[in-house]
A and B are shown apart, each in its own frame.
Chain A
């Protein structure tokens, strides 16, 4: 008797193991669902909503939706692509994502999502934030103007580094990334340049100092392979991709 569990993603069968989310199972099966705050190494956060799919007709975040046998999931529909496009436009509008002079360009998930989803226009009036950067740390620079509130650095610092250097404070449109030190400055934390929290930032907020633009155009992460291919490469296969 065949006991393989599966659901349908855009009409194609996707196998899963109990405990996997829809996005985990999809990526493990080589099926890409756009995402930003989801990272295979961390507890899903479900905040960016870019991985929104229709599951049995109802919208849901694929990163927090448990896979279930017989579920019918739609992802690559024009309706959902339009929704994701709008979400990316909103993220661009809320921060200073000036790709032309940003050292994260070519390595940036937000920028790559823009290309992937064919975001050709601004869509919204930009906020043009004016938050001072925190350059107090000798090895790490923080540019708060580019934060997309994905909380990956918060999760990495807590779950992997065990330091809790970052947290999100404020509410609504005032919500922002903050540093857990009395002074609020990064130099007064125990963060190290080798920390997971530094590596994991998908945009240009947490940067290694002095090395910007050292990788030439053509050899940057998403120059070599587009976001979809990278996401599938990074996705754990089978059981290892299950969050407890």
Chain B
């Protein structure tokens, strides 16, 4: 819908978005000559978890907060568990607990990345942004390339099996508890997962190759589409390697200058501020050193592959080097390069899972440790969509008194707005609204794999209505897509 504003600008709204996790709306502000001057992604991401965990016992948090999402609950489960490790004074977990949790986490990365690429993003990339919407979805993908669709489903299923074995359920399990885990991985469970791991590795290699070929075929478009220069943030291991479960914070400016490195995330607020703006439930995090205006940054696969010194598994590290070198670094700068980076992480996750399945520590019996209780716990990890921060305070009775969550999509808030603005300026300025043009905006957002409501997950077609209204209030164009 469109509506005039007091200062004579016009608003174009795309509501809702499709094939992202949850519901969202895009508003484009157009001035009297039809130039897009501002883009905003509105997200009804008010979930209330920070409030309603207050007064609840700390050991409940890892199970409760994972209900934020049905796609990456493991990320919230583990981030909360890491925070609660500190609450119970467990500063170093047993090798079994650490590795079972890592296995759970990389299973999560595998299933979430597979879901995103094969089911949500690939219809755009394979069929083109302007393709017939009836075809540009998972059903269209199954009709056009059933083998690709099947591999996506199988990869996701494998990741979910890893989660089931480590957490007890494919979705919303209970594996991680304060100070460790509640189960190990039995030999039978390990052997069951081992049966398919080489097939999974093969599919992941194919996925990396396929996204490279896609990029190659459309390099001129992909290099430019929605590309913005962003600061970047992620966790890295002590030696600078990619580590999606644990590490120190590293941030680099868009010019490539390291802003901070190996920062203990237990004091993340010294580096990352949060700003509230009246038009969105989402907060706007920023790098304090650069201030609220310029300090916005990007997290997620692209940031991680760019910022790590190497990936500690050989196949993924080779893929990383190919990616970084491509086009003299053009893919590594491109918003759509995120899809490529995501598949490199998919491959990395499969390699990590394979290595962990060979580790006898998974069958250990020492599951938990406890130490001197603490009042504050901060848990940070790299979720599929980016850095995830859980921060709690717990009183002497064991009840949570305060909670702050900065989820991946929130970190990417302004980066997504900037990307939308770039796409809108190139593809919507002064032109008639079409289905294809509208989907360009969705394609741009989809690169970030945002988890918008973290609760309602809509696949496929949803109603989509867009109107463009001129300065005199007349409707100049209207596009409707039925659900």
Q: Are B397 and A136 in contact (CB under 8 A)?
A: yes
Q: Are B397 and A210 in contact (CB under 8 A)?
A: no
Residues of B within 8 A of A215 (CB): 182
Q: Are A141 and B175 in contact (CB under 8 A)?
A: no
Task: State in angstroms the CA–CA spacing of A210 and B55 once bound together.
Answer: 15
Instruction: Specify which of A132, A141, A216 lies most central, judged by the most chain B CB atoms within 10 Å of its CB.
Output: A216
Contact with A along B232-272 (1 / 0, CB 8 A): 00000000000000000000000000000000000000000
Contact with B along A48-84 (1 / 0, CB 8 A): 0000000000000000000000000000000000000
A174 in contact (CB, < 8 A): no
Q: Are B63 and A213 in contact (CB under 8 A)?
A: yes
B477 in contact (CB, < 8 A): no
Q: Are A212 and B57 in contact (CB under 8 A)?
A: yes
Q: Are A100 and B172 in contact (CB under 8 A)?
A: yes
Contact with B along A200-242 (1 / 0, CB 8 A): 0000000101111111111100000000000000000000000
Contact with B along A117-132 (1 / 0, CB 8 A): 0000000000000001
Q: Are A135 and B174 in contact (CB under 8 A)?
A: no
Q: Are A209 and B64 in contact (CB under 8 A)?
A: no
Residues B124-179 near A (CB distance < 8 A): 167-169, 172-175, 177-178
Residues of A within 8 A of B63 (CB): 100-101, 103, 213
The answer to whether A217 and B397 touch (CB under 8 A), given A209-B57, A212-B57, is: no
The answer to whether A213 and B399 touch (CB under 8 A), given A101-B63, A132-B55, is: no
Classify chain B's interface size.
Answer: 20 to 34
Q: Are A216 and B67 in contact (CB under 8 A)?
A: no
The answer to whether A133 and B182 touch (CB under 8 A), given A100-B172, A101-B64, is: no
B340 in contact (CB, < 8 A): no
Residue of A nearest to B399 (CB): A135
The answer to whether A103 and B60 touch (CB under 8 A), given A135-B399, A216-B174, A217-B169, is: yes
Contact for A217 among B56, B88, B174, B177, CB less than 8 A = B174
Instruction: Specify which of B64, B169, B174 lies most central, judged by the most chain A CB atoms within 10 Å of its CB.
Output: B174
Minimum Cβ distance to chain B for residue A156 (Å): 23
- Chain A binding site: helix, strand, loop or mixed by DSSP? loop
The answer to whether A216 and B183 touch (CB under 8 A), given A101-B67, A135-B398, A209-B398, is: yes
Residues of B within 8 A of A135 (CB): 57, 397-399
Residue of B nearest to A135 (CB): B397
Q: Are B399 and A133 in contact (CB under 8 A)?
A: yes
Q: Are A217 and B67 in contact (CB under 8 A)?
A: no
Residues of A within 8 A of B173 (CB): 217
Task: State in angstroms the CA–CA spacing of A213 and B397 once bound together.
Answer: 18
Residues of B within 8 A of A213 (CB): 59, 62-63, 174, 177, 182
Minimum Cβ distance to chain B for residue A32 (Å): 27
Q: Are A218 and B397 in contact (CB under 8 A)?
A: no
Q: Are A216 and B182 in contact (CB under 8 A)?
A: yes
Residues of B within 8 A of A207 (CB): 57
Minimum Cβ distance to chain B for residue A44 (Å): 33
The answer to whether A216 and B55 touch (CB under 8 A), given A101-B63, A103-B60, A210-B398, is: no
What count of chain A residues pass the 8 Å CB interface test? 20
Task: State in angstroms the CA–CA spacing of A141 and B58 once bound together.
Answer: 12
Instruction: Specify which of B57, B62, B173, B182 lies most central, judged by the most chain A CB atoms within 10 Å of its CB.
Output: B57
Q: Are A133 and B64 in contact (CB under 8 A)?
A: no
Residues of A within 8 A of B168 (CB): 216-218
Residue of B nearest to A223 (CB): B168
Contact with B along A89-131 (1 / 0, CB 8 A): 0000000000011010000000000000000000000000000
Residues of B within 8 A of A103 (CB): 59-60, 63
Residues of A within 8 A of B67 (CB): 100-101
Contact for A101 among B60, B175, B183, B397, CB less than 8 A = B60
Residues of B within 8 A of A219 (CB): 183
Task: State in angstroms the CA–CA spacing of A136 and B465 once bound together.
Answer: 54
Instruction: Specify which of A136, A213, A219 lies most central, judged by the most chain B CB atoms within 10 Å of its CB.
Output: A213
Q: Are A133 and B57 in contact (CB under 8 A)?
A: yes
Residues of A within 8 A of B62 (CB): 213
Minimum Cβ distance to chain B for residue A224 (Å): 13
Residues B55-105 near A (CB distance < 8 A): 55-57, 59-60, 62-64, 67, 88
Q: Are B59 and A212 in contact (CB under 8 A)?
A: yes
Residue of B nearest to A138 (CB): B397
Residues of B within 8 A of A210 (CB): 59, 88, 178, 398
Task: State in angstroms the CA–CA spacing of A216 and B367 once bound together.
Answer: 12
Minimum Cβ distance to chain B for residue A213 (Å): 5
Minimum Cβ distance to chain B for residue A93 (Å): 19
Task: State in angstroms the CA–CA spacing of A9 and B333 once bound together.
Answer: 75
Minimum Cβ distance to chain B for residue A83 (Å): 32
Residues of A within 8 A of B167 (CB): 217
Residues of A within 8 A of B56 (CB): 133
Task: State in angstroms the CA–CA spacing of A147 and B150 once bound together.
Answer: 48
Residues of A within 8 A of B399 (CB): 133, 135
23 example contacts (A-B, Cβ-Cβ < 8 A) are as follows A100-B64, A100-B172, A103-B59, A103-B60, A132-B55, A133-B56, A133-B57, A135-B57, A135-B398, A135-B399, A136-B397, A141-B57, A210-B59, A210-B178, A212-B57, A212-B177, A213-B59, A213-B62, A213-B63, A214-B182, A216-B175, A216-B182, A216-B183
10 A-B pairs besides A210-B88, A213-B62, A216-B182 with CB distance below 8 A are: A100-B172, A135-B397, A141-B398, A209-B57, A212-B57, A213-B177, A216-B183, A217-B167, A217-B174, A219-B183
| Leading 9 A-B pairs by shortest Cβ distance | A217-B168, A101-B64, A135-B397, A216-B183, A212-B59, A216-B182, A213-B174, A216-B168, A101-B63
B interface residues, Cβ below 8 angstroms from A? 55-57, 59-60, 62-64, 67, 88, 167-169, 172-175, 177-178, 182-183, 368, 397-399
A interface residues, Cβ below 8 angstroms from B? 100-101, 103, 132-133, 135-136, 141, 207, 209-219
